[in-house]
Amino acid sequence: MEGNRYSKIFIEGHTDNLPVRHPVTDIVRFCTVYDDNYTLSAARAREARKALIGNLDSDTARRIIVAGYGDSSPLAGIDPADARNRRVEVQLTIGQSE
């Protein structure tokens, strides 16, 4: 990724369709906050980003983009409540000059 300054990594968080039963609101203790599926999915994506950036320089780390989709994109062919919908997807785009 460092060789192509136009490439980007998209990290997308997802959840099942079950409501969050135990909201996390203490950012000091847990380093995140979520109280619904959208904020939970965004927290998942942020944690994955933190794991990926490691020792990357700041210009490269800025090309890693996170999004939380909550329960809006369940996996095809399975029940929306299935735990397999609790996932993070990573996509790499190899960009051309802008």
Q: Report pLDDT for 15.
A: 96
- Looking at CATH, the fold of the domain delimited by 8-93 is given as 60s Ribosomal Protein L30; Chain: A; (3.30.1330)
Q: What is the pLDDT along the chain (98 residues), one digit of tens a residue?
A: 556 778 899 999 999 999 998 888 887 777 778 899 999 999 999 999 999 898 888 888 999 999 999 999 999 999 999 999 999 999 999 876 55
Q: What is the C-alpha to C-alpha distance for residues 78 and 66, in angstroms, rounded to an integer?
A: 25
Q: Report pLDDT for 54.
A: 85
| Residue 44 contacts residue 13 (beta carbons within 8 Å) | yes
